[in-house]
Amino acid sequence: MSAMPAERSRTMTGCVPRRRPRDPRPAAGERMKNGPSQSTQLPTLLAAVVGALDAVDDHVVVLDEQGRILHVNVAWQRFALDNGWEDPNWIGMDYVAASTVAGAGEQDDPISAGIRSVLDGERDTFAVEYDCHAPDELRWFRLRVRTLEVPGIGAVVTHTDITTRRLSERALERLATRDELTGLANRASVQGSVTHMLEEAREVGVVVVSMEDVTDPGMTLPDEVVARAAALLSELFPSPAVTGRYGQHQLVVAIAGLRADQLEEAREIVDVTMDTGMNAVVNLRTTVAAQIVGAEAADAAVLDGLVAQGRSDAAPDAQG
């Protein structure tokens, strides 16, 4: 967030002396290559720079060598006022202190520490992406801090809105890891989650729910039937349990570290839930199986076989 004041406060730490900036003025007797003189160009040039900063959509802040605000562009001001900044007297404010998360010192806040490192001359640039979510929308920004070798200027800070890119990335990630119909984890994602669980726990409990039409086991079930069963299962097992669609008519739940008795209890709960929640579907048959899997299930082919075996070993329960 572009240095919003909500829940942000800290004290200023000491400042390491910066290297001496290069003097941009021409050598004695040397004339400017363009224009009559620097003194006559400066007011016009300064106005042009300020106008250029105000024309960009990025939120831009110019800081002095101690991190105090010298200038903020129109986009920064608009964002600040739209997000609850009630005091418009930001010129001269300690920007680093105002940007630090409440309760953290500069060294404990990586963004504040990064800004300070540029101001102290430890690096020329610093960049990081961060979230700045509002109650009614998700937002991400890319912060970039860069030195300017101009006397009295410590750094220029820009905040670029990257929300569109981040949302696109999240959508692509969801397509890669989630089943489009049910919203549950897809097979590859379940396999990856089970492998991760096995790395952290010796065994993983897996509950398998299979569905078919009792009059024609090979028939494709309506989407709404599969989606309804998936919704019931996900309500029973919130995170950190992983609920997924493993096959066209097959749902699974993977839970790390379950004892055999706990797994059997979970199987019974799923059995009852499917019996009562799906009983309006005519000719639907569900089977619910459960088993503890070990390190061998880290192999996707082995897990496929165990899930398939769970279906064949389970006792069928005809409904409707």
Q: Which residue has the tokens 């797994």?
A: 263
Angle at 131 between CA 16 and CA 118, to 5 degrees: 15
Please give the Cα distance from 158 to 146 (Å, whole number). Answer: 9
- Per-residue pLDDT at 134: 87
In sequence order, the 6+-apart residues with CB closer than 8 A to the CB of 89 are none
Residue 281, SS3 per DSSP: coil
**69-72 and 59-63 strand pairing:** antiparallel
Contact by Cβ (8 Å): 50, 72:
no
Please give the Cα distance from 56 to 62 (Å, whole number). Answer: 14
In order of their start, the domains of the chain are: 38-166 (3.30.450.20), 178-318 (3.30.70.270)
Both tokens of 162, joined, read 């990257």
Q: Could you tell me the end-to-end alpha-carbon distance of the chain, in angstroms, rounded to an integer?
A: 55
Q: Note if the bond before 240 is cis, omega within 30 degrees.
A: yes
Give me the phi and psi of 275, to 5 degrees please.
-65, -45
In sequence order, the 6+-apart residues with CB closer than 8 A to the CB of 150 are 21, 24
pLDDT in tens for each of the 320 residues of the chain?
444 443 333 322 222 233 334 444 444 444 334 444 444 476 777 788 888 888 899 999 999 999 999 999 999 999 888 887 777 788 999 998 887 755 455 667 889 999 999 999 999 999 999 998 988 899 999 999 999 888 999 999 999 999 999 999 888 887 788 998 999 999 999 999 999 999 887 789 999 999 999 999 889 999 999 999 999 999 999 989 999 999 999 999 999 988 999 999 999 999 999 999 998 888 899 999 999 998 888 888 888 888 887 655 544 444 44
Pure H helices in the chain: 38-55, 74-82, 95-99, 110-119, 163-177, 187-200, 223-236, 260-277, 300-313
Which residue from 263, 249, 268 is spatially nearest to 291, judged by alpha carbons? 263
- Per-residue pLDDT at 224: 95
- Per-residue pLDDT at 12: 29
Q: What is the pTM of this model?
A: 0.55
- Per-residue pLDDT at 106: 60
**One-letter amino acid of 10:** R
Cα 118 to Cα 70, 78, 125: the distances in Å are 16, 26, 6
Please give the Cα distance from 35 to 41 (Å, whole number). Answer: 7
Contact by Cβ (8 Å): 26, 32:
yes
User: How far, in whole angstroms, is CA 97 from its chain's centroid?
Assistant: 25
- Per-residue pLDDT at 107: 63
